[in-house]
Structure 1
Amino acid sequence: MADKLKFALAVLLLAAGLAGYYLLSGQAMIFRVLCVLAGVAACAAVGWFTEPGRRLGAFGGEAITEAKKVVWPTRKETTQTTLVVFAFVVVMALFLWLVDAVVGKLIAAILGWQQ
């Protein structure tokens, strides 16, 4: 029940930040944006102390840990892979252009159109 109240409070804080943006329409844009950012920060701070917020924080920490375990490709590997992909795209484009031209000529011949 406490988490539901905290979540409701977080939503109200976010709504208050957004409402402040519109209520301060006569003020400078920086104050309006700061009001929204303050609402988002307050919402995140309250949300952090809910059970879903703690789970989200744990998930983020685990994601960072897993990202550190990744073996990233070297510059040479990245360049070679990019060139292979580029070459494949060029070959495929030429192949599809050729197929399109042949099918177009066949259809024109069947229907008796002149090109």
Structure 2
Amino acid sequence: MNSRAEARGASLDAIKLAVAIFLLVIGIFAFYYFASISTLLRVIGLLVISAGAAVIAFQTERGRLLWQFVADSRMEVRKVVWPSRQETLQTTLVVVVMVLIVGIVLWLFDMVLMSILRFLTGQGG
């Protein structure tokens, strides 16, 4: 009996997801089909249809799992200790200086190798 209920729930979830995808496809088609109507109205209509599709999709098991993942992610982001403005500027400055140093070293290395190659091939003056 339990496997029947799970199978029925899974098929209902599949139908809900199919309806949500169908709504999105219809909304996108309508957005381009009614190109003569104001862009603002078309965007509002597309947003409304997308919200409806999202509501339907979040009624499925996968939708609930996705919503739980988003909620957990937001909770973890709140725990992050973000750097101050000064720390960010200092780190950015260190990265820029290191990129310049590595670029100059690679440029010099390239010049040395090119000189060696020209000497070996006899193309140098």
Alignment TM-score, normalising by the size of structure 1: 0.90
| 1:24 maps to which of 19, 23, 34 | 34
Q: Which residue of 1 aligns with 2:64?
A: 54
Residue in structure 1 matching 2:120, options 83, 101, 110: 110
Amino acid at match of 2:68: A
Per the alignment, in what secondary structure is the counterpart of residue 69 of structure 2? helix
1:32 deviates by 2.4
The residue identity in structure 2 corresponding to 1:14 is: L
Read off the aligned partner of 2:61 and give its amino acid letter: E
Q: Which runs of 5+ in 2 are unaligned?
A: 1-10
4+ runs of 1 displaced by more than 4 Å? none
Q: CA RMSD in A?
A: 1.4
Give the equivalent residue in structure 2 for 1:13: 23
Of 52-61 and 75-84, more deviation after overlay is shown by 75-84
Distance 2:16 2:34 in 1: 27
Alignment partner, residue 99 of structure 2: 89
CA displacement, residues 72-98 of structure 1 (integer Å, 9 cap, x when unaligned) = 112222222112111111111110111
Higher mean alpha-carbon deviation, 34-43 vs 2-11, is at 34-43
The counterpart of 2:110, out of the listed 100, 104, 109, is 100
Unaligned residue ranges in structure 1 (runs of 5+): none
Look up the match of 2:48.
38
Q: CA deviation at 1:41?
A: 1.2
Percent identity for Structure 1 against Structure 2: 36
8 Å CA contact retained: 1:15, 1:39:
no
Count of aligned pairs: 115
Given the two structures, how large is their TM-score scaled by the length of structure 2? Answer: 0.83
Specify the code of the residue in structure 1 equivalent to 2:28: L
